[in-house]
Amino acid sequence: MAFVEPVTLRQSGLRLEPLALAHEAGLAAAAADGELWRLRVTSVPEPQDTRAYIETALEGRAQGHRFAFAVLDDASGQVLGSTSFHDILPAVRRVEIGWTWYRKSVQRTHVNTTAKLLMMGHAFDQLACHVVGWRTDNFNFASQRAIERLGARKDGVIRGHALRRDGTIRDTVMYSMRSGEWPEARAQLLYLLQRHAQD
């Protein structure tokens, strides 16, 4: 039995369901909203590469180290983007959250906060993880701010860690949250979502 089993997560009009080939057209349309593949610090697929992107994610799921979700508007079924559990380490009860991107029209809305709340809740409350981690490009300042808003702590920087799509080598900024920090982080995220709903 896999550590991360197939599950669909729902809250506040958002649905996270296991990424599948059936999401190909919707995922390509989401990436086209803002031509997100042109950003050098993201992993968003170009339209013609969407199927291969999904197949790679499914391969990671079969191997047990990645579980990708499609992020959808629950009412309309529109694909808003994708996010994943990755670097899954059952022996130490640790997962990371990443490979996250959303169509431009829903960026800076409640979508990312809600998706992270769902994933962190699943990781800590259902999978009984001790640690949830994040990693991002040293030049992806928007991602760093978003991770820090979740209540994660910066662990450090791994220098010369990975290749970007343009062939340059990036430094990777690492973050984490321990299970004991989750209740306070959850309270803060729920507070932020409540404020957003009132605006």
Do 93 and 128 form a contact (C-beta atoms < 8 A)? yes
137 Cβ neighbours under 8 A, 6+ residues apart: 41, 143, 164, 170, 171, 172, 173
pLDDT in tens, 123-139: 999 999 999 999 999 99
Q: Give the pLDDT confidence score for residue 56 in this predicted structure.
A: 96
What is the DSSP track for the chain? --SS----EEETTEEEEE--GGGHHHHHHHHHTTTGGG-TT--PPPGGGHHHHHHHHHHHHHHTSEEEEEEEETTT--EEEEEEEEEEEGGGTEEEEEEEEE-GGGTTSHHHHHHHHHHHHIIIIIS--SEEEEEEETT-HHHHHHHHHTT-EEEEEEEEEEE-TTSPEEEEEEEEEEGGGHHHHHHHHHHHHHHHHH-
Strand 169-178 and strand 153-163: pairing? antiparallel
Residue 65: phi, psi to the nearest 5?
-110, -5
Asked whether 74 and 15 are in contact (CB, 8 A), the reply is yes
Q: What pLDDT does residue 108 have?
A: 80
Check residue 40 and give its pLDDT. 65
Question: Minimum mean pLDDT among 1-10, 14-23, 64-73, 152-161: which range?
Answer: 1-10
pLDDT at 161 over 80: yes
pLDDT at 41 over 70: no
Q: Mind listing the pLDDT tens digit for each residue in 175-188?
A: 999 999 999 999 99
pTM: 0.92
Backbone angles phi, psi at 16, to 5 degrees: -110, 115
